[in-house]
Amino acid sequence: MSPRKEQPKSDLRPERNELRSRLQTTPVSQEEEERREAKKKSVERRTAAIRRAWLVVLIAAVACLAWVAVAAASELQEPPHPTLDIEGPLETPQPAATPEPQESASEQVPTSTPVPTPTPMIPEMAELYAQNPDLAGWIRIDGTVIDYPVMYTPDDGQFYLYRNFEREDDPSKQGCVFIDENCTIDPRSTNLLLHGHNMRNGSMFHSLVEYADPAYYAEHPTIQYTTLYDQQEYEIVYAFRSRVYNTNDDVFKYYKFYNAYTPEEFEAFIAGCEELALYDTGIEPEFGDEFLTLNTCEYTAENGRMVVVARRIKTDAERSAEAEPTADAVAEAAEPAHTEVSASPTRIEEIRTGPGLLRQ
């Protein structure tokens, strides 16, 4: 068998070159030309938009730098006029001013009244107030378990009836001691009415029922009440039993006394307390006194209440101020007494002209 002759390899390069030449010389269609032109314009528009955006950013940056430079220069510039030195006269000499006529008293501008500095909170109370701003004070009776914060929520008077200091529902139902919603603490009511539960375990206001015994009162005659700003001491004046009455009942209702605007209102409250008092403490309140009234449930009567009324003991400064005569009293004492004269015209003329000067 004769050997197979190899076919010579053809050279493809001339064919590729010829094909490339035909493609380059082939005319482009109108549609393709428009597509290329549109693409070119789109690229040009995007490029122009990018350039404009960079130009805006550059202008904004230059404006910011210029503003910062102006602000810095204005801070470094000295004021055009000398400033007032409250510790001494101005060092810059001033020309002598022409004296101006003084304004009359009616034309003078009244000076402003200085604003008083607010009283700071007691540090311990401030710490508790930061935890709960419903805090109004703290009540303590030495020798008893009464030693609790006092809350005040005038918009929801019984909010703390069964809630603890953390404003959470109290599973023990003892709640917190709280001020009656009808009272005010700034300005302070004549009477602050405090509510607290009579717990069977002896906590909260249970100790109040012991004040039915005068011997217990003799051992615990005072109450310490600390507001947010000062410490106060109260002396117990009355202890009595009462109850919550119907709205239409025409009886003395201690829990309706908040303010005594007149001596008559004050005396009505004192008379009602004296009539119910279990014993005489020997203390006689006066119009203008401030009170704490503590009350809790008392179970010998339906809707019964045990009530303890205490009067704030005035400070030494308050007593000294009351002892000093007022300006009106001093003026009244300095004026000569005027004697009412009921005499004849001749005697009146003698008093006016003096003895021996009566006209003939």
- Give SS3 for 177: strand
What's the confidence (pLDDT) of residue 249?
95
Give the CA count within 13 Å in the CB-facing half-sphere of 295.
20
Residue 212 exposed, middle or buried by CB count within 10 Å (0-12, 13-18, 19+): middle
Tokens representing 242? 């009462």
Distance from C-alpha of 326 to C-alpha of 155, rounded to nearest angstrom: 40
Distance from C-alpha of 134 to C-alpha of 150, rounded to nearest angstrom: 9
The distance between the two most distant Cα atoms of the chain, rounded to a whole number of Å, is 197
Question: Residues 6 or more apart from 160 whose CB is under 8 A from it?
Answer: 134, 151, 153, 175, 176, 177, 178
**Cβ proximity of 125 and 138 under 8 Å:** yes
Distance from C-alpha of 176 to C-alpha of 174, rounded to nearest angstrom: 7
Determine what percent of the chain falls in helix, strand and coil, rounding each to the nearest 5. 35, 15, 50
Domains of the chain in start order, with CATH, are 123-319 (2.40.260.10)
Helix (H) or strand (E) holding 242: strand 231-243
Residue pLDDT, tens place only, 280-319:
999 999 999 999 999 999 999 999 999 999 999 998 888 8
What b/e readout covers 118-144, taking b as 16+ CB neighbours within 10 angstroms? eeebbeebeebbeeeebbbbbbebeeb
Distance from C-alpha of 311 to C-alpha of 340, rounded to nearest angstrom: 44
Residue pLDDT, tens place only, 184-225:
999 999 999 999 999 999 999 999 999 999 999 999 999 999
What's the confidence (pLDDT) of residue 351?
34
Residue carrying the six token digits 């034309």 = 107
Nearest-5° Cα angle at 82, 80 to 88: 175
* DSSP H stretches of helix in the chain: 13-25, 30-76, 123-131, 214-219, 263-276, 316-323, 327-334, 345-353
Distance from C-alpha of 357 to C-alpha of 360, rounded to nearest angstrom: 9
What's the confidence (pLDDT) of residue 233?
98
- Give SS3 for 201: coil
Nearest-5° Cα angle at 192, 181 to 158: 30
What's the confidence (pLDDT) of residue 254?
98
Nearest-5° Cα angle at 151, 145 to 154: 145
Among 226, 217, 231, 197, residue whose Cα is nearest residue 309: 217
**Cβ proximity of 138 and 226 under 8 Å:** yes
List the chain residues with pLDDT less than 50: 74-96, 336-360
**Cβ proximity of 241 and 212 under 8 Å:** yes
